[in-house]
Amino acid sequence: MRAVLLILLVLGASTRAYGMTDEQKLTWYLPTAEAQWPGSPCNGQEQFVLEAQLPEGKDGWFAYGTCDVYLAPGMSDNQFCIILTHELGHASGYIGDTPGDHSSDLNSIMYGGRLRGDYAPCVRRTWQRVKHMHFRSAR
Ligand SMILES: [Zn+2]
């Protein structure tokens, strides 16, 4: 029964009871995103603009020459983590093999479009949140 409940919670991670504001998502996922880019000159220096109005189809944007990261509203927890990690990759100085310093590898967090699958560090962090919320509310 508990396993079924946890699966339902993962699938419904964006439901109101377990949902986070974008500010809470940033707090929750930032350590995970920064950990993917050890040694980044922007780690700890970032300025974030949440609920940024970005061009159609864009969920995130990094301003080169700064440590400013723009994140669009309305992303799922997992997508927020993926986009945050991707933009911090740009902030770290990532050099890609395609224009815009993106990777041509569809499974890379630095791929220029939607990832083919999930990004394991983000899935793990989301899972921690679900467990944290479940056991806290069960008390
Ligand atoms: Zn990019």
Which tens digit of pLDDT belongs to each residue from 6-58? Answer: 544 455 544 445 689 999 999 999 999 999 999 999 999 999 999 999 999 89
Report how far apart, in Å, the C-alpha atoms of 67 and of each of 50, 102, 110, 116, 124 are: 14, 18, 17, 27, 26
Q: How far is the CA of 124 from the centre of ligand 1 (A)?
A: 22
Distance 10 CA to ligand 1 centre (A): 27
For residue range 93-135, list pLDDT tens digits in order. Answer: 999 999 999 999 999 999 998 887 789 999 999 999 888 888 8
Please, which residues bridge with residue 103 across strands?
111
Measured in angstroms, how far is the CA atom of residue 3 from the centroid of ligand 1? 36
- Output the CA 101–ligand 1 centroid distance in Å: 7
pTM, 2 dp: 0.83
Domain 17-138 - what CATH class? alpha beta
Q: 17 CA to middle of ligand 1, Å? A: 32
